[in-house]
Amino acid sequence: MDIILKYFSDFTETQTKQFAALGELYSDWNSKINVISRKDIEGLYEKHVLHSLSIAAVIEFKPGTQIIDIGTGGGFPGIPLAIMFPEVQFHLVDSIAKKLKVVQGVADGVGLTNVTVQHTRAEEIKNRKFDFVVSRAVAPLKELWTWGKPLIKKGNTQELPNGLICLKGGDLAQEIFESGLRPRMVPIDQIFKEEYFKEKFLLHVTA
Ligand SMILES: C[S@@+](CC[C@H](N)C(=O)[O-])C[C@H]1O[C@@H](n2cnc3c(N)ncnc32)[C@H](O)[C@@H]1O
């Protein structure tokens, strides 16, 4: 939890309690339904919570914004962002139902009222639009954009235009080339100084 407070300090008492509760909630849920590796659960706040919050370091979503997290797994980046932005609506989807049990359990455990979950493949969602798609470690950029683009309403009311914001790591040159897109790229090690964030990037593609 200290690692979060190192970079973010403007939390309300509720938010501080909610972030603090994540450690125990994820340990409990993960012992029942394994969604996070044992090694990663030890580094939960750095590798999952803080990493998810890199999005909050780049954009402060306005109240009323609607966001879908594609392939949320155990709730990343959706859950930390939902705590960070209590007036923003988050729809967390995954193709594996048991992962969403954990997500719903954690959301209920911290008392989040701005989170909904849906068991579906992203490409099967019809007739719904969001301001942003967020995603971490789910699919190559080309595929993510194919799934995400139809879900995004065009708009330009925030610091960044509506679009896809995804968290990725490693050498992305080939992946970006194959996508045919020109995302804006933010190296996360410019935001957070821990070794873990070396070669990790936030990509933003405008809708
Ligand atoms: C490597 S995990 C990442 C989970 C989470 N985003 C995180 O960073 O911890 C990838 C997740 O994407 C989900 N997924 C893959 N393809 C999907 C699709 N087409 N629609 C919805 N979820 C998908 C998988 O079920 C899995 O939970």
Domain definitions of the chain by residue range: 2-206
205 lines ligand 1 (CB under 6 A): no
Query: Cα of 131 to ligand 1 centre, how many Å?
Result: 20
Q: Are 48 and 150 in contact (CB under 8 A)?
A: no
ipTM reported for the complex surpasses 0.85: yes
pTM greater than 0.95: yes
- 128 annotated ligand binder: no
- 123 annotated ligand binder: yes
- Mean pLDDT, rounded, for 148-171: 94
Query: Cα of 71 to ligand 1 centre, how many Å?
Result: 3
Query: Cα of 13 to ligand 1 centre, how many Å?
Result: 31
- Say yes or no to pLDDT of 200 above 80: yes
The greatest distance separating any two alpha carbons of the chain, rounded to the nearest whole angstrom, comes to 45
Query: Cα of 23 to ligand 1 centre, how many Å?
Result: 21
95 lines ligand 1 (CB under 6 A): yes
Query: Cα of 138 to ligand 1 centre, how many Å?
Result: 5
- CB-based contacts of 123: which residues, under 8 Å, 6+ apart? 146, 147
Q: Does domain 2-206 have CATH number 3.40.718.10?
A: no
**Digit-coded pLDDT (tens) for 39-93:** 788 899 999 999 999 999 999 999 999 999 999 999 999 999 999 999 999 999 9
Supply 207's token pair: 């809708």
Closest C-alpha to ligand 1, atom 20: 121
- Say yes or no to pLDDT of 33 above 80: yes
- 38 annotated ligand binder: no
- 122 annotated ligand binder: yes
131 lines ligand 1 (CB under 6 A): no
- 57 annotated ligand binder: no
Residue 52 pLDDT: 98
136 lines ligand 1 (CB under 6 A): yes
74 lines ligand 1 (CB under 6 A): yes
DSSP 8-state class, residue 179: H
What are the contacts of 185-191 at 24+ separation with CB within 8 A? 186/54, 186/58, 188/51, 188/54, 191/7, 191/54, 191/57, 191/58
- CB-based contacts of 126: which residues, under 8 Å, 6+ apart? none
**Digit-coded pLDDT (tens) for 103-157:** 999 999 999 999 999 999 999 999 999 999 999 999 999 999 999 999 999 988 8
